[in-house]
Chain A
Amino acid sequence: DTGVSQDPRHKITKRGQNVTFRCDPISEHNRLYWYRQTLGQGPEFLTYFQNEAQLEKSRLLSDRFSAERPKGSFSTLEIQRTEQGDSAMYLCASSLRGGAEAFFGQGTRLTVV
């Protein structure tokens, strides 16, 4: 499978715990995006990498969130001290260049109890 891969698909965690999600983009894509989608809404932009550089972070991304993309390959999104409001689908996407279509992974559904 050469599409965008995300792991895990589902995560249930207790409030206050830390969680980490992984995204493996399409191999030749240098742009990688994280989005968050809550029920009944469209995805909202969280952050963007070009190669290994994190070039933009949304105001939605509080200090408890951190994302990395070491060596410009896979990316991780960590949420520290999770809150119930963090419950959502976290989507990763990659694209070959600016303006090109972005391809999405199947997402990680986070439930904070």
Chain B
Amino acid sequence: AQKVTQAQTEISVVEKEDVTLDCVYETRDTTYYLFWYKQPPSGELVFLIRRNSFDEQNEISGRYSWNFQKSTSSFNFTITASQVVDSAVYFCALSEAGGSNYKLTFGKGTLLTVNP
């Protein structure tokens, strides 16, 4: 069975600090997909990134970067120079390719608060 663990329930930082959100996953599949979503107070889940299990290249998009390490089953997310607008709940999710439905299994989320 697939599982996603986000050990950090809440993180509070001061604006301009860097912050890393941890994600550890479990799966028996060799082919799978990993995702990060942002859920601001408005409630809508906003897609941030998708990685497939064969692509371990780290990715940077502006102030966001992702570190995928299969050896430790981790897919961590770093925000550089955080801003107040980054305040939200962030979810890591896993989708297995073994079945046909590609449903997402989410972690419990990390509430990030960026204080001015």
Chain A residues lying within 8 Å of B102, measured Cβ to Cβ, are 31, 95, 98-100
Specify the chain B residue showing the minimal Cβ separation from A43. Answer: B106
A2 at the interface (CB under 8 A from B): no
Q: How large is the interface on B (under 10, 10 to 19, 20 to 34, 35 or more residues)?
A: 20 to 34
Chain B residues lying within 8 Å of A89, measured Cβ to Cβ, are 43
- A interface, by DSSP: helix, strand, loop or mixed? strand
Tally of contact residues, A, Cβ under 8 A: 28
Specify the chain B residue showing the minimal Cβ separation from A55. Answer: B101
Chain B residues lying within 8 Å of A102, measured Cβ to Cβ, are 47, 104
Chain B residues lying within 8 Å of A100, measured Cβ to Cβ, are 50, 102
Given A98-B97, A99-B52, A101-B50 in contact, is the A107-B43 Cβ separation under 8 Å? Answer: yes
Interface on A for B, CB 8 Å cutoff? 31, 33, 35, 40-45, 48, 50, 55-56, 89, 91, 93, 95, 98-107, 109
Q: In the bound complex, what is the Cα–Cα distance between A48 and B101 (angstroms)?
A: 7
Q: How far is the CB of B44 from chain A (nearest CB, A)?
A: 4
Chain A residues lying within 8 Å of B106, measured Cβ to Cβ, are 42-44
Q: In the bound complex, what is the Cα–Cα distance between A82 and B43 (angstroms)?
A: 23
Q: In the bound complex, what is the Cα–Cα distance between A106 and B44 (angstroms)?
A: 4
Chain A residues lying within 8 Å of B37, measured Cβ to Cβ, are 104
